[in-house]
Structure 1
Amino acid sequence: MKKQTKGNDRSKLASLSRVIQQMDGAPDMETALRILVERTRELMSADVCSVYFTEQEKRRHVMVATSGLAPSVIGKVQFGFGKGLIGRVAESAKPINLDSVPTSLNQDFVAQSDAGRYQGFLGAPITHRSRVLGVLVVRQRVARRFNDADIALLTTLAAQLGGTIAYARVSGELCSFCAPDEIELNQLDGVAGAPGIASGVGLVIFPASDLYTVPHRRAQDPDLEERNLRAAIAHVQDELSRLGEDLAGPLSPADRALFDAYALMLNSPEILDTAVQHIRRGNWAPGALRKTIEAYSQAFSEMDDPYLRERSADIRDLGNRILVHLQGTLLTKHDYPANTILIGRQLGAIDLGLVPRERVRGIISTEGSPLSHVIILARALGIPAVVGIEQVPLEHLDGQEVVADGNQGRVYLRPSPRLRAEIERINREERTLEQELERLQDLPSRTQDGVNVPLYTNVGLIEEVALVASSGSGGIGLFRTELPFMLLDRFPSEQEQVKIYRQVLEAVAPLPVNLRTLDVGGDKPLPYLPIAESNPMLGWRGIRLMLDRPEIFLTQLRAALRANVGLENLRLLLPMVNGVTELEQALDLIARAHRQLLEEGIASSRPPTGLMIEVPSAVYQAEELARRVDFLSIGTNDLSQYLLAIDRGNPQVSNRLDPLHPAVLRALRQVVEAAGRTGKPVSVCGEMASNPACALLLVGLGIDSLSVNAAALPRVKWAVRSVDSQHLKSLATEALKLEKPEFVRQLLDTTLEVAGLERLRRQPGSTIAGDKAST
């Protein structure tokens, strides 16, 4: 009997993925819930399975689906917060398993459901991003203690349902049978990326080979959409035919049968005819293709035969391939709305660079982190951004009015008039503060007791160079050279690079420009230099890539030195150096580039050279490294990432990445002390320097200068001019004694308040609060 029970448990868990697939393939939320309660009741041999949704504003849990009870109880059975077993499961946020429910805990359910008493009870919380959204319950008439396999199955399904509910609330699907508070229907919680609040029209950017990110768009010309679709399918048919012929020799007949199966799928009239029907109903060709492929893929995934189930993946691959060709028939330049909110799964710097600057108002990225490259650029350009929005149905955001609150990390859909008025009020206050700070533009960045703290600007896009002079910056503290490389489909030539670097150097001369040599790899891949790595953040990137490809490195170095002729404001900055060996190899290549130019009759000079402290090994060798260069610059973004072992691009853990962690602060102090013994200056060019409160702490730690994004520079200058340097040293001493980053943050908040800088605690912008967005 025990063996049979174990076998049944394994069978239940094996069926779990089928239930989840069926839920994912459901056309709407109501159907998904019906599938869930019916299949769960069947798998667990329970008498009843029910789902309750949590309504935060009304402080209650309401039954929204059930199998085993009369349909009339849906919406009728409900429990207040903390009431009954449902309230206890939600409040504890953990499963509750009872073989016989006490009468006192059963009476409300019996009274509301009119179904008599059930003894066995197992309830699991439905959560999403640590927030309880409801409760999934199974009940038994007789006494029953559910086993570990039952608990595992129910908690897994509840976790899956959490994402489904979050998705449905965004798209408004819950409105048809449940009415949670309005704010949840129209508010998405994410992570604050770049500060500010922006409203505009959502424009979804999707990869050319990712069918499932394609949004729904209205077909302007259905006949043209149909022709494009037919042409794309014909292209893929030709490709498969040629590929099958080319592989006729190397592959066995059995292996070649796969290509025959692909051809049969494409030649089947159902796929084309179904997609054309979607076009005729108003969808554009990519959206019609997505809906068609989703339906056929789902149908195959639900088949009993394992071989046929695997064909589901083949259909998705075919759909992606058709999309690639379909994209080739579309306009490559978007018709960007005047107030574009750029939206995508994982937006890159190229996506931002392609939008006319005057048209982009905000950014929403469902993946990534506040330290991803595109978000750093957004901060530099003063574009509000929100990242880490999970379970977002992008097809519902395209063309919709959207609000990106980069201060709180929230996105609002279909904003109400009240919300629009609140946004305008906050932005008006922001403009007032900016006008007040303009008076500081020509004043020195000097503490009240006369200590100069030079402020420079981080630059990534060429158009940012114009912001350097207007912000009162002392020059460019970090020029990211990788963007010109990323915008091309090949490595730029030496002459092309000379033109770019000369433009930057001339624009700010005689102010200095710290040109960081090519820092690609990791989170900044080149499209024409594919690098397949299981852990790219620890892989072939930064200076190690350039040392392995000296021809690329020498070309860039020669271009930079040539661009500097007659200007002499160039300073070279080497990224990701992990020790003396890498530094000496890089310095040798700089010397070689200089010699080559002199031999060619080009009167170049060898510029001052520094390196970035970004990895722990460089912290521990800071003194030896400083002896060999002219200055050090700390990149707190990567240094925090590597010290804390947190991938800043991973949305699952990036919220734990805190530059105020005591380990990071102690590393900064160690670098400052090591550089001090060699007489070399130290700057910080990471995003930490752009936060006014953190900037004051950095000055107190002994950092000589700061390089910040242009939007933050006036605020940082105001903070520096409002304090005494001796007080900042005491602040740093106290901060280094603290054991938790939250304690350091509280200390910095107090410092701003005492200095009369409360308006900088949330910068720029304020918080949208108390709004109920319209449904």
Structure 2
Amino acid sequence: MMLETLRRIVQDVSAARDLSTALSLIVRRVRKAMGTDVCSVYLYNPERERYVLMDTLGLNPAAIGRVSLALNQGLVGYVGQREEPVNLDNAPEHPNYLYLRVTGEERYHSFLGVPIIHQRRVLGVLVVQQKAKRRFDEGEEAFLVTIAAQLAAVLAHAIANGSLSLDRAGQRKSVPYNGVSASPGIAIGEAVVVMPPADLDAVPDRQCEDAEAEKALFDQALMAVREDIEALSARLAKRISPQEQLLFEAYLQMLDEAALGGEVHKRIDDGHWAQGALSHVVRRHVKYLEKVEDAYLRERAADIRDLGRRVLAYLQARSDIRQDYPENTILVGEELSPALLGEVPREHLVGLVSVRGSSNSHLAILARAMGIPTVMGLSDLPYKRLESESLVVDGYHGQVICWPDEILSAQYREHMRQDEALTEELEVEARKLCETLDGHRVPLLVNTGLVEDQSRAQALGAEGVGLYRTEVPFMMAERFPGEQEQTRIYREQLVAFAPFPVVMRTLDIGGDKPLPYFPIEERNPALGWRGIRVTLDHPEVFMAQIRAMLRASDGLENLRILLPMVASMHEVDEARKMVMRAHEELQSNEGLKLPMPRIGAMIEVPSMIFQVGALSKRVDFLSVGSNDLTQYLLAVDRDNPRVAGLYNAMHPAVLRALNDLALKARKYQLPVSLCGELAGDPAGALLLMAMGYQGLSMNLSSLPRVKAAIRRVTLAQAKQLLVAVLPCETTQEVEDAVAAFSREHDLEWLIVMRRKA
């Protein structure tokens, strides 16, 4: 019974239309569930640095919004400081008790307060009180703790939405939202909200200029759905019973103007566009029906939702494709797709914001290639309310700022100006050799998967491709690309960069990179069927790809083959056998004269650090995938916004592991390079160079800054930095050492300014 009560409270609060409604629901439902005299919610106000009484049932309503407590004040402040429950049978006797006459709480003796904590932040305190002097029992305390924990994420989202209220001057307040950086850079522009087809929950709020035109569009969609249902009913008339056919009659009744249609018309008259009006009406009906006791009526909720989707699909189909994109368009959506990029004129598209998605998604790869600042994984972003609103996209720190004020906008515009000036300055020296002041050469290569990267990479002085993501052409296709098709794509890359090496990673799908035509559903995809595991299980796919790579390399001799996600020598042995078989077949059956390409293993799984000796007998080189290696070493999903803040390649354990790997590679005379975000961080690049990594591969946009950092130090100085950071025990100590080094060598403008938050 208690579990059902908990579920209903959380469900109702989640569906609340705003913060005020959510808080009112909390105090009413919790007080009733626990049978207490008082229930109150205090929320932390970061601007005032105080806990503010936001709602109560039992205390004086006049105290709402007026009463506030400092962080060390009263029992509420005491709960927040301790970050754990405080359960008292006679609160006025406690030394932290603070009497506030306006609340009228002097009548209540029993006090139970629990903190509301979301992602280590105390959002507020939930309090229940009673007149009787008694200590709340263990079950009551556990219930309130559970309620607070369950409500924390919901309330965090509601607070984020509620904080978008007007300030005292009547202006929107700037609100930052943290996500995952998918493509670096800064963009300031106007939000254009896009939505997936026929998704009622993703329809953004928009006002309409012509209510009659919107009603006409809705009526046309309604008529089309009515005709569809009548046609379906007629087709099935001979195959279903008369009772079952009554379902279609019920559908048609729901579509009647006096029912669903009439409510939508009324909302359009209130100024809402047809799609938004339909979404609101349908979701309100569904919410009501899902809560009724009668099982038959609860089942009708699914029918209402199905009807709503059908009508919405017609509305979306009949809406004209948008042509009037703002000059500085920032596309915003729940999950943006690469196809959307082609709909917006390139000169108008300045930024991308996706509630879902990862830094390894196809969209992220395209965004980096096109130089579009992008942030993903913003779970609290109220994206449906952002149509035509001003946004700042900070792709360096993975942050989106809604309604930036003029001061903040001016600061970001200055950052953009400095960025452009710095880029121009660095590109002047891009064609110069990448070597230290004392002549140590470090080849810089690019990570790529697109033909568009080729000419710009060479203009910036890239000395080859350290990671060619062969999955990108697979992700862009509607089926597995054929062998000839792959040969053509790979040949373009190999020819473009010849005679420089091109390291082609074999198909790396699974995890956060599913193919639309080959979905992989797993409970734990990061540790599941991905990389070499997939292709060894599908030799027909692997062999076609290897043959295509070998054919493409004919006469060029710059192909390198890289095996992803290897975790055992068996996988390496099996993959090598298949490469050698493909090579032999092409030579013997087709007469091609192909040198055997070098084969490398990608070090992403931590266990491989301890098997370098075994690898040295099987492969020609190693390439560290620092992004995955870091997340596996730290047990942090870097694309999960809840824990992304814990992901840091400058963690001491990560740096020591990389250093150990470089030492072992040197011992076994095995060339080792690194591809990943750490190589594209100027400070990370200096540390990797000092460790002995012989090649660094990075996203194209990072190359000028990394080259500038390397050209401004000696190898001996970089080794001094390495000596300083290896003994560090915390990430903060590492970053402090890097900051001190950058100040000493006048590199702050390259290193400190470019570090991720």
TM-score (norm 1): 0.87
Q: Does the CA-based 8 Å contact 2:19-2:159 persist in structure 1?
A: no
Counterpart for residue 729 of structure 1: 719
| Per-residue deviation, 1:454 | 0.4
Q: Does the CA-based 8 Å contact 1:523-1:537 persist in structure 2?
A: yes
| Per-residue deviation, 1:396 | 0.9
Q: Which shifted more, 475-484 or 236-245? A: 236-245
Supply the RMSD in Å over aligned alpha carbons: 3.6
Q: Does the CA-based 8 Å contact 2:499-2:556 persist in structure 1?
A: yes
Counterpart for residue 480 of structure 1: 469
1:268 alignment partner, one of 246, 254, 279: 254
1:71 alignment partner, one of 47, 57, 61: 61
1:517 aligns with 2:506: yes
1:432 aligns with 2:418: no
| Per-residue deviation, 1:42 | 1.6
| Matched residue SS, 1:489 | coil
Instruction: Encode CA deviations 1:32-63: one digit per residue, 9 max, x unaligned.
Output: 32222222222222112222232222233322
Counterpart for residue 544 of structure 1: 533
Instruction: Encode CA deviations 1:226-283: one digit per residue, 9 max, x unaligned.
Output: 434654576578679979998x7xxxx99x97x9768845752334544455455554
Counterpart for residue 59 of structure 1: 49
| Matched residue SS, 2:90 | coil
Instruction: Encode CA deviations 1:560-618: one digit per residue, 9 max, x unaligned.
Output: 33333344433222212223322232223333333444433555544333221111333
Q: What amino acid sits opposite 2:716 in the alignment? A: Q
| Matched residue SS, 2:124 | strand
Compared CA separation, residues 237 and 702, structure 1 to 2 (3 A): farther
Q: Does the CA-based 8 Å contact 2:360-2:512 persist in structure 1?
A: no
Counterpart for residue 331 of structure 2: 342
Q: Does the CA-based 8 Å contact 2:177-2:380 persist in structure 1?
A: no
Compared CA separation, residues 179 and 96, structure 1 to 2 (3 A): farther
1:635 aligns with 2:625: yes
1:759 alignment partner, one of 723, 741, 749: 749
| Per-residue deviation, 1:349 | 5.7
| Matched residue SS, 1:462 | coil
Q: Distance in 2 between matches of 1:659 and 1:180?
A: 43
Counterpart for residue 702 of structure 2: 712
Counterpart for residue 620 of structure 1: 610
Q: Distance in 2 between matches of 1:585 and 1:383?
A: 40
Counterpart for residue 3 of structure 1: none
Q: Distance in 2 between matches of 1:697 and 1:108?
A: 54
| Matched residue SS, 1:58 | coil
1:224 aligns with 2:217: yes
Counterpart for residue 451 of structure 2: 462
Counterpart for residue 143 of structure 1: 133
Compared CA separation, residues 568 and 766, structure 1 to 2 (3 A): closer
Identity between Structure 1 and Structure 2 (%): 43
Aligned residues: 749
Q: Does the CA-based 8 Å contact 1:648-1:654 persist in structure 2?
A: yes
Q: Distance in 2 between matches of 1:202 and 1:28?
A: 21
1:80 alignment partner, one of 61, 70, 78: 70
Compared CA separation, residues 408 and 638, structure 1 to 2 (3 A): closer
Q: Distance in 2 between matches of 1:547 and 1:234?
A: 51
Give 1:231-242 correspondences, 5 Å limit: 231=224
Give 1:160-179 correspondences, 5 Å limit: 160-172=150-162, 175=165
Q: Does the CA-based 8 Å contact 1:368-1:650 persist in structure 2?
A: no
Give 1:672-711 correspondences, 5 Å limit: 672-711=662-701
Consecutive unaligned residues of structure 2, counting only runs of 5 or more, are none
Q: Distance in 1 between matches of 2:229 and 2:675?
A: 48
| Per-residue deviation, 1:446 | 0.8
Q: Does the CA-based 8 Å contact 2:622-2:672 persist in structure 1?
A: yes
1:443 aligns with 2:429: no
Q: Does the CA-based 8 Å contact 2:467-2:505 persist in structure 1?
A: yes
Q: What amino acid sits opposite 1:738 in the alignment? A: C
Give 1:5-84 correspondences, 5 Å limit: 11-84=1-74
Q: Does the CA-based 8 Å contact 2:443-2:463 persist in structure 1?
A: yes
| Per-residue deviation, 1:517 | 1.9
Q: Does the CA-based 8 Å contact 1:519-1:542 persist in structure 2?
A: yes
Counterpart for residue 411 of structure 1: 400
Q: Which shifted more, 701-710 or 267-276? A: 267-276
Q: Distance in 2 between matches of 1:92 and 1:244?
A: 68
| Per-residue deviation, 1:671 | 3.0
Q: What amino acid sits opposite 1:480 in the alignment? A: R
| Per-residue deviation, 1:620 | 2.5
Instruction: Encode CA deviations 1:472-526: one digit per residue, 9 max, x unaligned.
Output: 2112211112122112221222333233223333333333222222111110000
| Matched residue SS, 1:198 | strand
| Per-residue deviation, 1:121 | 1.2
Q: Distance in 2 between matches of 1:239 and 1:693?
A: 65
Q: What amino acid sits opposite 1:424 in the alignment? A: R
| Per-residue deviation, 1:633 | 0.9
Q: Which shifted more, 275-284 or 396-405? A: 275-284
Compared CA separation, residues 717 and 53, structure 1 to 2 (3 A): same
Q: Distance in 2 between matches of 1:311 and 1:274?
A: 18
| Per-residue deviation, 1:708 | 1.0
Q: Does the CA-based 8 Å contact 1:447-1:724 persist in structure 2?
A: yes
Q: Distance in 1 between matches of 2:444 and 2:181?
A: 25
Q: What amino acid sits opposite 1:580 in the alignment? A: M
Give 1:364-403 correspondences, 5 Å limit: 364-368=353-357, 374-375=363-364, 378-379=367-368, 381-403=370-392
Instruction: Encode CA deviations 1:514-558: one digit per residue, 9 max, x unaligned.
Output: 222211111000001122222222222212212222222222223
| Matched residue SS, 2:749 | helix
Compared CA separation, residues 766 and 631, structure 1 to 2 (3 A): closer
Q: Does the CA-based 8 Å contact 1:236-1:322 persist in structure 2?
A: no
2:82 alignment partner, one of 92, 104, 112: 92
Give 1:302-341 correspondences, 5 Å limit: 302-305=291-294, 308-309=297-298, 312=301, 315-316=304-305, 319=308, 336-341=325-330
| Per-residue deviation, 1:78 | 2.6
Counterpart for residue 590 of structure 2: 600
| Matched residue SS, 2:679 | helix
Q: Distance in 2 between matches of 1:485 and 1:333?
A: 29
| Matched residue SS, 1:540 | coil
Q: Does the CA-based 8 Å contact 2:37-2:131 persist in structure 1?
A: yes
Instruction: Encode CA deviations 1:346-367: one digit per residue, 9 max, x unaligned.
Output: 5566666776654432233334
1:502 alignment partner, one of 467, 491, 494: 491
Q: Does the CA-based 8 Å contact 1:577-1:583 persist in structure 2?
A: yes
| Per-residue deviation, 1:179 | 7.6
Instruction: Encode CA deviations 1:694-726: one digit per residue, 9 max, x unaligned.
Output: 111111111111001111111111111122223
Q: Distance in 2 between matches of 1:656 and 1:372?
A: 20
1:123 aligns with 2:113: yes
Q: Distance in 2 between matches of 1:243 and 1:680?
A: 69
Q: Which shifted more, 83-92 or 562-571? A: 562-571
Instruction: Encode CA deviations 1:660-710: one digit per residue, 9 max, x unaligned.
Output: 334433332343234334433111011111111111111111111100111
1:559 aligns with 2:559: no
Q: Which shifted more, 695-704 or 427-436? A: 427-436
Q: Does the CA-based 8 Å contact 1:350-1:486 persist in structure 2?
A: no
Bigger RCO (CA 8 Å, 6+ sep): 1
1:132 aligns with 2:132: no
| Per-residue deviation, 1:308 | 4.5
Q: What amino acid sits opposite 2:254 in the alignment? A: S
Q: Distance in 2 between matches of 1:374 and 1:766?
A: 21
Q: Does the CA-based 8 Å contact 2:19-2:161 persist in structure 1?
A: no
Q: Distance in 2 between matches of 1:240 and 1:105?
A: 73
Compared CA separation, residues 148 and 202, structure 1 to 2 (3 A): farther
| Matched residue SS, 1:188 | strand
